[in-house]
Amino acid sequence: MKIYIGSDHAGFDLKEILIQYLKNLTYQVDDKGTFGPESVHYPNYAHAVAEAVSSDPTSLGVLICGSANGVCMTANKHKNIRAAIAWQPEIAALAKQHNNANILCLPARYLSEEEAKDVLNAYLKAEFEGGRHQIRVDLI
């Protein structure tokens, strides 16, 4: 599976860690930036990931910024994108199971490296349940 990943400066260090982690799990990772810790505008990277996921429906995305709010709001402006903020594994799993989230947004300033990996793992392992949840997703 291909995973598109992006961050702003606040999420850069965590993005780099998660890229290597995902590669070690044998995921194909496409880094949409930023490529350094200098201050940048998060919408540029959120748009890049959302556009990629929108045009590649078998893929998933991961976006990271300080609170995850900005990247999530930006990504959700795109057609067929369901971006969700998660800071606990259970929330990440539910985002996929009930909302068919195709982009996970992580708050870098509120997660340790290990917590971020746990949240990401829960998201990746979860499966969309469909059924009554599909009806609700269709209403979005």
- What's the CA gap between 75 and 77, in Å, rounded? 5
**Is 65 an annotated catalytic residue?**
yes
To the query of whether residue 78 is one of the catalytic residues in this protein, the response is no
Q: Mean pLDDT, the chain, as a whole number? A: 97
The torsion angle over the Cα atoms of residues 77, 33, 23 and 20, rounded to 10 degrees, is -120
**Which is the catalytic residue, given 65, 72, 78, 105?**
65
Sign of CA dihedral 91, 29, 78, 134: negative
pLDDT at 127: 97
User: What's residue 51's pLDDT?
Assistant: 98
Superfamily of domain 2-139: Sugar-phosphate isomerase, RpiB/LacA/LacB (3.40.1400.10)
Q: How confident is the model at residue 22 (pLDDT cuts 50, 70, 90)?
A: very high
Selected catalytic residue, list 41, 78, 98, 133: 98
> Rounded mean pLDDT of 4-14?
98
8 pLDDT tier (thresholds 50, 70, 90): very high
pLDDT digits (tens, 9 = 90+) for 40-97: 999 999 999 999 999 999 999 999 999 999 999 999 999 999 999 999 999 999 999 9
Write the DSSP symbol of residue 9.
G
Residue with tokens 């490529």: 35
Name the residue ranges covered by the structural domains of the chain: 2-139
48 neighbors 42 (Cβ within 8 angstroms): no
Q: d(Cα 116, Cα 18) in Å, to the nearest integer?
A: 8
Convert the pLDDT of each residue in 94-137 to its tens digit. Answer: 999 999 999 999 999 999 999 999 999 999 999 999 999 999 99
Q: How high is the pLDDT of residue 7? A: 98
